[in-house]
Structure formats: C-alpha cells, structure tokens
Chain A
Amino acid sequence: MSEQIDHLHDRPDLAPGDEEEVRIGPRLLGYATGLGLSVLLTATSFFIAGTDLVWQPSIPVALVVLAIAQMGVHLVFFLHITTGPDNTNNVMALAFGLLIVFLVVGGSLWIMSHLNHNMMPMDQIMQMER
C-alpha cells in the first residue's frame, strides 16, 4: 500500500503549461488546432448573430452553446485541462472555481430579485403618497 502511494507521489501532477512533451512539433500542432477551432467558433458566432437562415428565437441559444464550446476549446488546447490522472489538481481547481462562481452569481441574482419582496407594490405607494 505504502509503495503504491510512493509510486503515485513520484509522478507529480502537472500544472497548466508544464508539458511532458518536449518536442516542438506536436505542441505547435496542439496550439494550431486550438487556434483554428477558436477562430471557427468565433466566426460562426458572428455569422449566426446576423443571419436569417435559422429560426430567429434559436439564435441566443446557439450563441450560448458556441460560447461554452469556445470555453471548452480554450481549456483543452491552451490551458491543457485533460482527464488524465496527472491532471487531477487542475480539474479540481476548475470545479471549485465553477462552484464558487455558480454560488456567488446565482445567489446574487436570486437575492437581488427578492429585494423588494417585503415592500408594497409601487402603485400602492404612489396611491398612499397622493
């Protein structure tokens, strides 16, 4: 058991930017693929926003989907987030970040939409002031 742990510890996990691959060719290919996909997704977004080829109400949904895909491309090709066992820390950090953003942004929206819950509706206040 302890040997197993030592073995795991001997192979430290990688930070974003730390690459095991040292040859320049494959790394360049990775970045080029990422750039290509990003440009494609961005161009598609601009195209979709102004087109009348698709059903109009679907445009915002399409933009959201494209934006999320863009984030995914950046995470995989530029920030090197993978599902490999050497990447646990990065995935955990990403999950923690997403959780906090969800809690704070979601919580704020919920709280702020409840701001005037205990207030009289505006027209009644106007009525009283009259």
Chain B
Amino acid sequence: MLGKLDWSAIPIDEPIPLIAAGVVLFAILAVLIWAGVKGHYPYLWREWITSVDHKRIGVMYILLAMVMLLRGGTDAIMMRAQQTVAYHSNGYLPPEHFNQIFSAHGTIMIFFVGMPFVIGLMNLIVPLQLGVRDVAFPTLNSVGFWLTATGALLINVSLVVGEFARTGWLPFPPLSELTYSPGVGVDYYTWSLEISGIGTLVAGINLVTTVLKLRTRGMTYLRMPMFCWTTLASNLLIIAAFPILTATLAMLILDRYFGFHFFTNEAGGNVMMFMNLIWAWGHPEVYILVLPAFGIFSEVVSTFSSKVLFGYRSMVLATMAICIISFMVWLHHFFTMGAGPDVNAIFGIASMIIAVPTGVKIYNWLFTMFGGRVRFAVPMLWSIGFMVTFIIGGLTGVLLAVPPADFLLHNSLFLVAHFHNVIIGAVLFGAFAGYTYWFPKAFGFRLDEATGKAAFWFTLVGFYVTFMPLYVAGLLGMTRRMQHYDVAAWRPWMIAAGIGTVLLAIGVALQVLQLFVSIRRRDELRDTTGDPWDGRSLEWATSSPPPAFNFAVLPNVTGEDAYWRVKEHARRQDLDKREPDYKDIEMPRNSPTGFVCAFFATVMGFALIWHIWWMVGLGAVGAFATFVVFAWRDHDEYIIPATEVARIDRTNLAARRAALDLAGIAQ
C-alpha cells in the first residue's frame, strides 16, 4: 500500500535532523495559523498563489531562494563547525549524516538558491526593461515557479522522511547506483531535480521568447539594457543544457528502478559517461548562474556612476562569446579521468580562453566607473566587492584550467575555495546587488542603508576569512568532504575558516534584520517617483511598485539608456505636459494551473521516491488533467478600462513630474 514507506523512515535516533525539522515545522505551522487567523488566505490565493503577473512570480522566486539560502547556509555552518572540531576526533556529526549535509548543501545552493534567485530577478525586471506588459507565456511562468518549489519541498521533506543522498551534489555512479546507495536518498535527489528541472526549462523558454519577441516599439537588440542581453544568453544556455541534465538523471533513474546498466560497473555500463554528460550540463550551468549576475553589475555600475556603460557592444559580444564557449570546456571538471594529452590540452586552452571575454567585462566596468560620479550605495558596494573577489576567483580558475596543476589540486579544498570564490563572489553578490537595487521597484520602498552596509562588510570579510584558509589547506593537501582528519598543519586553517563562517552568518542575519527594519521604516524609505536611484533603463519609467499592466502607454524607445533619454528630454523641454492617449488594456487572467499542477507533481514525486505506484498514477493523471482543463479554457484575459488606466497613471505622473521639477531647479 505505501511501498517502501514505513515508520523506520523517520530518523528517531538522530536528534539533530529531528530537532531541526521540528523547529521548521513549528515555524511553518505558526505562519499558517497566523495567516488563517488574520484572514490572509483569500488574499494570498488571489494575489500571489494563482498570480500570473511576472512581478509577483519573480518576487516568489526570490523569496524561495532566500528561504533556501537559510537552509543551505545552516548546512554550511554545520559542515565548517564539524571540520573545526573534528581534529583527531569524530566531531559531532556521524559520517553518514555529514555526507548527507554536504550533498544537500551543494544541491540546495545551486538549484534552489542560485537558480531561483537569478530567474526571479530576470522575471521581475526583464519585461519592465523591455517596456512590455508581461512575459510571453504568463501561465507557463507560474507553472515553472511552482514546479521549482516542488523540487525544493521534496528536498526538505528528505530531512524528516527517509534520508538525502550521500553522494555529493552530483550523484556520481557507481556510488549512486542501487548497489552502493540502496536507500531513498539518491531518489530524493533525482526526482526533485527532474521536476524542478522542467520548471527551469519552462522559465528558460519563456524568457528567451520574451526577449526575442516582446520588445516595445524601437527597442532593437542593440538598444536593450545589458541585463536583457545576459538574460537572453543565460536562458539560451538553460534551453540547451537542462535537457542534458534531465536525460542523464533519467538514465540514472532507469539504472536504479529498472535494472538498466548505463552507468554500472557490470554489464557494459560506463561510469565515465555519467561524468561526461553531467558536466556537459554542469559547466554551462555555471554560466547560467553567473551571466545574469554580470548583467546586474552592468546595470548597477552604470547607474551609480551616472554614466553610460563603457563598451556596450563589446559587452554584448563578450556575453554571447561566453554563451558559446561555455559549451566547449566541460572536460576540465575531469582532467584526471585519463584522457590523452591532446584532449586535455584542447579543453584546458578553451577554459583559459573563456577568461578573456570575462576579463573584457571587468575592464568595461572599471572604465564605466572611471571619471564617473560614483555613489557608494549598497548595490554599488556589492558590485565593487564582486570585482575584487571575482578577479581572485577567476585567476585561481585559470590556474585550475592547466591540466598538470589540476592533477595536483583536483578534489582538494583548493578547488572548493575556487568555486565558492566565483559563485559567492559573483552569483551571490550579484543576487544581493540586484535585490537591493530592485527592491524599491518591487515594493515601493528602499531597503535600509545602514544595516545593508553592515551586512555587506560582514559578508565580504567573512567570505575572505572563510575561503582564503581553504586555499591554503588545499595546497597543503587536504581533500574535500572530510568528516575528520589527523594532520596538525590543517588545523589552524580549519579554525580560521570556522571563524569566517561566524562572520558570514552574522552577515546573513543582518540581511534578515535589514528586511525587518526596512518594513518597519517603510514610510520614511518610500519611493514616490518610481526612480529612486536616478536610473537609466525603462523599469524606472513606471511607478514603484508598477501597476499590473506595467506601462499605461507602451514606451517608444529612441536609443540606448532609454529612460535616461526621456529624462534629459523632459528637462530640456520643460516636461511633456500632454496627456497620453489612454486605451483599454488586456491582461492575462490569474490561473491556479501552476499551483494545482505542482501539487500533483509533488504527490507523484513523493510516490516515485517511495515506490507507491497507485499514488504515482494519481499524481500523473492529476497533473495531466490540470493541463487539459487549462488548454480548454474559454477566456483567459480581462480588460482594464482606459479610465482606470488613466486614473492610476495620473497619480504616478504627478509624483514623477514633481521630482523632475526639483531636478530641473537643482541644475
């Protein structure tokens, strides 16, 4: 009846996960009850859960990412604490638990923090920057988000029901095969990623279509803001790379469920094919995460230097070059697997070449700042912190791209330090920069500066104190994923890294505090003009938060830095006083399709993990039926009448004109 599921799945003998799960469950229940008592459910259902508005979906993606960042961060603290104390002792985490933690940490940070954070920011901002009313497929967008949430939910369920994979963040066979991982851990991994992978693919298709098809009048490719270009490149990579991940994990699933032998040691399976395929997805994945971050930095650096982005066209070229070359370097993740010198040399050289367009970008940002009037607001701090940190991470990356050096450093803590150096230094700093930069656009008030600056400095210093020692420990020969060790020379570096982790944790706590303080002080921090940073692109041309239809009248773009031109024009011509010609606007209707579909996907995923076959059928039929019902819908749009559009837009324009008047006087 319930497949492999019984009471032994609950880890009653392990206090740590049980207490953690208890606290989380208690918090969730408390929030649910509070929302029920206050009567927020109808509002949440109407305005958020069933929303197909790209801004709402973007915010939900970012919220998911931030909650999962806390989970992944807790894993990180536990691991670093273990390595701080586990010298000549077993520490406080038993090996099988430690292995689950480092696997969950990597999986969560990449798939459920990095991906939803950048996809959320792209969802929120790209349609606004392109000057359009929504993404190409609004309901599909909602489906994509909820499927991602399904994956995150399943991974967190593994904390209490059963176990998580002990194989590392990529389940390398033969360890992940049924012979060596008979439990449900790997199944939790594969099914959550298969389901959330569909969500990511859907988001990728949606955003590529949006950029290619839905630009406002006059928004030619070479007038798009840099963030739109990096969005295009990143989502092209999603479309090209995620099917590889899905197919590879499907093969592993066939091995585990039906006795196939794609990656087994026996019967002609080939373990190395898994490494090859997973990294053919895995390396583009790195650029899927980092390209949007590059776009965010381009926007931020240009805005806070009050200058046009230096070398816009070279930036576009560099982005597209990275997009292609990122598919030519994947072997550098397994130089040591035994390929000949010509294979290793070619991929080593390609890996070094990809540093060139990245270097071009760094110089472009530096020259954008050069001669500009730089304002050191929080997003700019993250950007400058990124440039310094990322250069160090990039250089150690070029070092690792040299095959002979890689033979020494492969799977050492040097490698761990390198990829944290680039992923934290670029993706996470970029996400935080974008979060602070676009927060006023999403909610109508800025984030508190003082706590934001404190959070930045704690995170930056904490990052260096944590990860620079790991470089040294790696050079001293310490390998990754060690539950305990006996080498005295490594000890001081592990203690230093432990101290750094405390600083990083304070940084994260300060960000939570920042959100709290900002909400309390929202009236002082209110952004009435819709343009709090003196921005340059079209998202600042509408109110904060934007109305459901984004723009009352779709803008007509005449050059790069579209909104900057509008402002200059307005200043010169004593403002455009004419009332625009308002028309009725058609907007897509909200739809519970995404939520219902994800509900059935969760049921199906959970049933597949535990081999509860009748429930698998139930989930599959339910998910399919949801799509059929949606496909047979009669009307999916509603009309916002012109008078309503005019009313909303007049209040917005009044505040904006007042601000522009002030700016005119100041000049």
Contacts and interface: CB of A to CB of B under 8 A. Distances in A.
B339 A104 contact: no
Interface residues of A, number: 25
A56 interface: no
Contacts of A114: 338-340, 342-343
B218 A103 contact: no
A125 interface: no
A17 interface: no
B117 interface: no
A104 B218 contact: no
Interface string B82-98: 00000000000000000
Given A96-B240, A107-B280, A112-B276, A89 B212 contact: yes
A22 interface: no
Given A5-B218, A111-B343, A103 B213 contact: no
Contacts of A118: 338-340
Contact of A108 (B217, B280, B324): B280
B272 A115 contact: yes
Contacts of B262: none
B515 to A, nearest CB: 40
A108 B276 contact: yes
A115 B324 contact: no
B217 A6 contact: yes
A12 B343 contact: no
A115 B327 contact: no
B339 A111 contact: yes
A41 to B, nearest CB: 27
Interface string B322-340: 0010011011000001111
B218 A6 contact: yes
Interface string A32-74: 0000000000000000000000000000000000000000000
B212 A112 contact: no
A96 to B, nearest CB: 7
Given A9-B218, A96-B236, A117 B339 contact: yes
Contacts of B331: 107, 111
A104 B280 contact: yes
A127 interface: no
B244 interface: yes
A99 interface: yes
A111 B240 CA distance: 20
Contacts of B337: 115
Contacts of A119: 338
A39 B328 CA distance: 38
Interface string A89-120: 10000001101100110011011101111110
Nearest to A96: B236
A124 interface: no
A111 B340 CA distance: 9
Interface in A1-18: 2, 5-6, 8-9, 12, 15
Interface in B481-514: none
Contact of A12 (B213, B218, B328): B213
Given A103-B328, A108-B276, A116 B338 contact: yes
Contacts of A97: 240
B224 to A, nearest CB: 12
Interface string B186-221: 000000000000000000000000001101011110
In which size bucket is the chain B interface? 20 to 34
Nearest to B330: A107
Given A104-B280, A104-B327, A115 B213 contact: no
Contacts of A15: 213
Nearest to B223: A5
B567 to A, nearest CB: 19
B277 interface: yes
Contacts of B213: 12, 15, 89
Nearest to A119: B338
A112 B270 contact: yes
B220 A9 contact: yes
B339 A115 contact: yes
A87 to B, nearest CB: 13
Highest count of chain A CB atoms <10 Å: which of B331, B337, B339: B339
Contacts of B240: 96-97, 100
A12 B213 CA distance: 8
B388 interface: no
Nearest to B280: A104
B558 A2 contact: yes
B327 A100 contact: yes
A6 B272 CA distance: 52
B276 A110 contact: no
B273 interface: yes
A9 to B, nearest CB: 7
A108 B331 CA distance: 9
Contacts of A12: 213
Interface string B439-450: 000000000000
Contacts of A112: 270, 272-273, 276
Interface in B269-291: 270, 272-273, 276-277, 280
B349 to A, nearest CB: 14
A111 B279 CA distance: 12
B328 A107 contact: yes
Given A5-B220, A9-B220, A100-B327, A110 B273 contact: no
Contacts of B338: 114-119
A64 B215 CA distance: 41
A114 B335 CA distance: 12
Given A9-B219, A114-B342, A117-B343, 4 more contacts: A97-B240, A100-B327, A107-B328, A111-B276
10 contacts: A2-B558, A96-B240, A99-B324, A107-B280, A107-B331, A108-B277, A110-B343, A111-B331, A115-B337, A115-B338
The 3 nearest A-B residue pairs measured at CB? A117-B340, A114-B339, A100-B240
Interface of A: 2, 5-6, 8-9, 12, 15, 89, 96-97, 99-100, 103-104, 107-108, 110-112, 114-119
